[in-house]
Amino acid sequence: MTSNKRLTCTISSPQRTETHKDVVRATLPTSSGIMQILPGHCEAFILLKAGDVKLEFSNDTQTTVKINDAQCHVLNETIVITE
C-alpha cells in the first residue's frame, strides 16, 4: 500500500476491550454484506452482524477477531466497534 496513513481499531464488549494500531485494511461483517475500511474513509455508522473482523497491518500480518452483533463508527482514521 502506498499511503502512510494507518487506522486504529478498538473493539469493545462487556468481556474485553482491545485496540489494534497500524491497520491498513479492516474487513467487517455488516448487516448487508462484507465491507472494507481503508485509511481515508469518510465518517460512517455501520451495523455489524456476528462474524469475523479481519484486520491487516502495515507489517503484512493479519488477525481475525470474532464479534457478536455490534455497531461501528468510523471517523478520522479510527474504527470503534461496540458489541
Q: What is the pTM of this model?
A: 0.93
**Residue at 65 is within a domain:** yes
**Residue at 51 is within a domain:** yes
**Residue at 1 is within a domain:** no
**Residue at 2 is within a domain:** no
**Residue at 19 is within a domain:** yes
∠ CA 73-66-47, rounded to 5°: 30
**Residue at 32 is within a domain:** yes
**Residue at 64 is within a domain:** yes
List, for residues 3-46, the tens digit of each pLDDT value: 689 999 999 999 999 999 999 999 999 989 999 999 999 999 99
Structural domains in the chain (count): 1
What is the domain-level CATH number for residue 56? Answer: 2.60.15.10
Residue 50 CB neighbours (<10 A): 11
Q: 60 lies in which domain range? A: 7-82
